[in-house]
A and B are shown apart, each in its own frame.
Chain A
Amino acid sequence: MTVAEQPLIPESVTAPSAHAALAVRGVHVWRGDRHVLEGVSFAVQAGELMHVAGPNGTGKTTLLRVICGLLAPEQGSVEWRGVPITAQRSEYQAELAYASHEPALKADLSALENLRFSVGLKRRVSDADLRTELDRAGVGACADLPARVLSAGQRRRVAMARVLAMRATLWVLDEPFTNLDAHGARFLCGLLAAHSDAGGLALVVAHQELDLTRRVLRLELS
């Protein structure tokens, strides 16, 4: 199967509830003597996309980890729907999908099994649903292949299928365009647009511009 058979702009991928909003207030993070994040503040409302940009080593991934709650900032807070995320960890995580640098796939499991076990911790999901999401991400034909034999781009797409399958309101994507071909990049932009149309929020770390026909908030770290 070729990826060209996939629709460029998929149908709605999420059904987020209204008034979803993420607020980052005065976040400071030190790494040893380095002041990595110096008072970062911003807000993202339902339906908005934010492009986090900046040179290497400026703390983009650190910021995403703070937003996910993996890293506690020395100062400042992250609020979801007006409540600090530390006060509602599991509720917040239920609405969050994080795709890190690493695709987080087990080489010995098939793409479908990888999704079954990771999405299965968030919500009850059938194999048919997961195959649909893999199809949407353009890797339906690889569903039963071990992740070991997939190319880096295909693994990235499987990781994206996991984000879709989680039905999360807030997407936090760390360099999702890495290893994707031109069609894959356009397809990912289509997914982001559809997510935004459905009222979802997304934070995307990317070194390239997001090719979207809509307003994208931009946070430049330096």
Chain B
Amino acid sequence: MTVGTPRAMTVVLRRELTLSLRRPDQILQPLVFFLMVTTLFPLSLSPEPQLLRELAPGVLWVAALLAALLSMDGLFRGDADDGTLEQLALSGQSLAAIVVAKTVAHWLVSGAALVLVSPFVALALGIPVGAFAPMLSSLALGTLTLSWLGAIGAGLTVGLKRGNVLLSLIVLPLSMPLLIFGASATDRAITGGSAAGPLYLLAALCVLTSTLAPFAATAALRITLE
């Protein structure tokens, strides 16, 4: 009996999550990085609550962006190195659907995990609890968009031996709008303004990348496979 696309995506998602759970260090590495960077700021700057609160949105978002970059390179590299990518490409399933499942799994273990630990960081930086909801929404939308951008970058650089630097050069300029709108949403929430505007823009970027990135990443992977 043949396998439909939704079932195939479930199979890939389960495989990716199982693999991630077998290698918890790969999940923990970006999270520890995120926690360390954000903890270093209060230590190196003045621990003045007012100053920390002003810097908090920028610190939070730059740390989140760099932490996300750490895990991007591994999105397709393992599969390309051990021949799994060829098996996926020849599975008879849409490669774009497989890319979607892999990217969503990547976001669940990197981006979503980062969103979950961010309240602790926010408290340390003096962000008021009332600003948590817009901050968490902006991080959730931003990290998911980063995963899609990462899929394109990882697809383009997976054929290179040390593609990590090139991957950063591809993804960082594309992620500047996220940094601006994400930090702006968090800042407005802290200062008591409405975060709706930047959040809508983040949501629009998330929709744009989640509809186009799977096809771009698939095209990049097909070039790599040749």
Q: Which residue of B lies closest to A97 (CB)?
A: B90
Given A93-B92, A102-B83, A118-B87, 14 extra CB contacts under 8 A:
A68-B90, A96-B90, A98-B86, A98-B87, A103-B82, A103-B83, A104-B83, A106-B84, A109-B15, A121-B3, A121-B11, A121-B91, A121-B98, A124-B3
Q: Per a CB cutoff under 8 Å, which of B14, B78, B83 touches A117?
A: B14
Q: Per a CB cutoff under 8 Å, which of A93, A106, A108 touches B91?
A: A93
Q: How distant is B96 from chain A, measured CB to nearest CB, in Å?
A: 12
Q: Which residue of A lies closest to B222 (CB)?
A: A70
Contact call B89/A120, Cβ cutoff below 8 A: no
Query: What is the number of contacts between chain A and chain B, taking CB atoms within 8 Å?
Result: 82
Q: Per a CB cutoff under 8 Å, which of A68, A72, A123 touches B3?
A: A123
Indicate if A94 sits at the interface (CB-CB under 8 A): yes
Q: Which residue of A lies closest to B16 (CB)?
A: A117
Distance A101 CA – B93 CA, assembled complex (angstroms): 22
Knowing A71-B226, A101-B83, A108-B23, the reply to whether A120 touches B90 (Cβ < 8 A) is: no
Within 8 A of A (CB), among B72-87: 78, 82-84, 86-87
Q: Per a CB cutoff under 8 Å, which of A101, A104, A121, A124 touches B92?
A: A121
8 contacts between A and B (CB under 8 A): A70-B89, A70-B225, A70-B226, A98-B86, A102-B82, A107-B82, A123-B1, A124-B3
Distance A118 CA – B98 CA, assembled complex (angstroms): 12
Q: Which residue of B lies closest to A95 (CB)?
A: B92
User: Size class of A's contact patch?
Assistant: 20 to 34
Indicate if B40 sits at the interface (CB-CB under 8 A): no
Indicate if A48 sits at the interface (CB-CB under 8 A): no
Residue from A105, A120, A124 with most neighbouring chain B CB atoms (10 Å): A120
Q: Using CB atoms and an 8 Å cutoff, list the residues of chain B in contact with chain A.
A: 1-3, 7-8, 11-12, 14-15, 18-19, 22-23, 78, 82-84, 86-94, 98, 225-226
Q: Which residue of B lies closest to A105 (CB)?
A: B82
Indicate if A151 sits at the interface (CB-CB under 8 A): no
Contact call A109/B18, Cβ cutoff below 8 A: yes
Q: Chain B interface secondary structure, helix, strand, loop or mixed? A: helix
Indicate if A186 sits at the interface (CB-CB under 8 A): no
Contact call A104/B22, Cβ cutoff below 8 A: no
A-side contacts of B78, CB under 8 Å: 106
Q: Which residue of A lies closest to B93 (CB)?
A: A121
Q: How distant is A174 from chain B, measured CB to nearest CB, in Å?
A: 10
Distance A122 CA – B15 CA, assembled complex (angstroms): 15
Indicate if A208 sits at the interface (CB-CB under 8 A): no
Q: How distant is B100 from chain A, measured CB to nearest CB, in Å?
A: 14
Q: Mark A44-80, 1 if CB is under 8 A from B, else 0.
A: 0000000000000000000000001111100000000
Contact call B19/A93, Cβ cutoff below 8 A: no
Q: Which residue of B lies closest to A89 (CB)?
A: B92
Within 8 A of B (CB), among A103-140: 103-109, 113, 117-118, 120-124
Indicate if A6 sits at the interface (CB-CB under 8 A): no
Distance A109 CA – B84 CA, assembled complex (angstroms): 13
Distance A27 CA – B87 CA, assembled complex (angstroms): 23
Distance A94 CA – B18 CA, assembled complex (angstroms): 25
Contact call B90/A70, Cβ cutoff below 8 A: yes
The 5 A-B pairs at the shortest CB distance, nearest first, are namely A102-B83, A104-B83, A93-B92, A121-B91, A108-B22
Q: How distant is B16 from chain A, measured CB to nearest CB, in Å?
A: 9
Distance A123 CA – B92 CA, assembled complex (angstroms): 10
Q: Which residue of A lies closest to B94 (CB)?
A: A90
Indicate if A100 sits at the interface (CB-CB under 8 A): yes
Contact call B23/A121, Cβ cutoff below 8 A: no
A-side contacts of B90, CB under 8 Å: 68-70, 93, 96, 98
Q: Per a CB cutoff under 8 Å, which of A69, A100, A106 touches B19?
A: A106
Distance A91 CA – B1 CA, assembled complex (angstroms): 13
A-side contacts of B84, CB under 8 Å: 104, 106, 118
B-side contacts of A107, CB under 8 Å: 82
Q: How distant is B224 from chain A, measured CB to nearest CB, in Å?
A: 10
